[in-house]
Structure formats: structure tokens, C-alpha cells
Structure 1
Amino acid sequence: MTTRIRKIGNSSGIIISKAMLDQLNIEPKDELELYVEGDKILIKKVKQPREGWEEQFKNADLLEGEEDLMDFNNQFDDEEWTW
């Protein structure tokens, strides 16, 4: 894909096709990191802390049965703890 630099106020910008944004899972208002490597400008989506963790835990079956932990009682909880 080729594009041209466009004047945007006092700055310049480029248009990135919807197909390319979809391929990279980039949506409006996503934060992007731009940096120069040699004679190239590289654009990378900034990942949020813990992004994708829930999906990875589900894939590893680590969240399965999590609700069972809430029903775990012990002697201290039953006899000594004041709610």
C-alpha cells in the first residue's frame, strides 16, 4: 500500500486503510507508539497492562472452578470471625 503525507493543521499525517487497521486490531482512540528504525517509521499498538490475561487464563483453564473458592469455609470463619 502506498499513501501520501497530508497536511493536517500545523502537522502532517497519513491515512491507514480500514483493512490494515482491522488486520492489526487497531480501533479509533487506541494509543500507538511511533519510532524510527533506519529509514522507516514503525507504528505499534500500545498494549494495556494485563491486556489479554483473562483470555490466556481461560485457555489454560486457570479460572475454571474459581467460584468454588468463594464457598471454602474453615473453622476460623465458622466460629471465630465476626461478620
Structure 2
Amino acid sequence: METKIKKIGNSLGVILSKSILAATEMKETDRVVITSQQGKIVIEKARLPREDWGEMIMQAKEEEERFFPEELENKFDREDWAWE
């Protein structure tokens, strides 16, 4: 799709076609994040706060298990350590 940059009030903008919005599963009320990457304008749907928390928690749990396995015992713990 080719379009022109248009003046909208004191700003400039681009009108997105209905077919582009449908293909990207975006709608009129969605919030977006606009960035530039290697000379291109990238428009992405904004993630809701906490949307990816479940994934982040699972990653943290996996890292914790890797660094702190349940069995951390060693010879000192098994044989030498005693509470007095």
C-alpha cells in the first residue's frame, strides 16, 4: 500500500487502511508504540501493563532453579555442620 504523509492540525500523519488494520489485528481504540529502526517507521500494538508478567515470572523461576537447585547439600552440610 502506498500513501502520502498528510497534515493533521499542527502535525503530520498517515492514514492506515482498514485492510492494514485488519491484517495486523489492530482497531481504532488500540494504543500503539511508534519507533524507528534502520530508517523505517515501526508501529506496534502497545502491550498492556502486566500483560507479560506470567512469562516473566516463569523465566525468573527457571533461572532461580538453575542457580539455586533444591539440593544444595555438600559434605560439610551432611557431616560437619551441627546446630548447638
Shorter chain as denominator, the TM-score bin is: 0.5 to 0.7
CA distance in 2, matches of 1:50, 1:42: 21
CA RMSD of aligned residues (A): 1.7
What number of residue pairs does the alignment pair up? 52
Extract unaligned runs of 5+ from structure 2.
Answer: 55-84
CA distance in 2, matches of 1:50, 1:14: 28
Matched, 1:30 2:30: yes
Q: What SS does structure 1 have at the residue aligned with 2:16?
A: coil
Quote the residue 2:17 is aligned against: 17
TM-score, length of structure 2 as denominator length: 0.56
Greater Rg by CA = 2
The structure 1 segments of at least 4 consecutive aligned residues displaced by more than 3 Å after TM superposition are none
Bigger share in helix: 2
Extract unaligned runs of 5+ from structure 1.
Answer: 54-83
CA distance in 2, matches of 1:47, 1:24: 14
TM-score, length of structure 1 as denominator length: 0.57
CA offset at residue 38 of structure 1? 1.5
Q: What SS does structure 2 have at the residue aligned with 1:19?
A: helix
Q: What SS does structure 2 have at the residue aligned with 1:35?
A: strand
Q: What SS does structure 2 have at the residue aligned with 1:12?
A: strand
CA distance in 1, matches of 2:42, 2:16: 13
CA distance in 2, matches of 1:32, 1:40: 16
Quote the residue 1:6 is aligned against: 6
Quote the residue 1:50 is aligned against: 51
Percentage of pairs with the same residue = 35
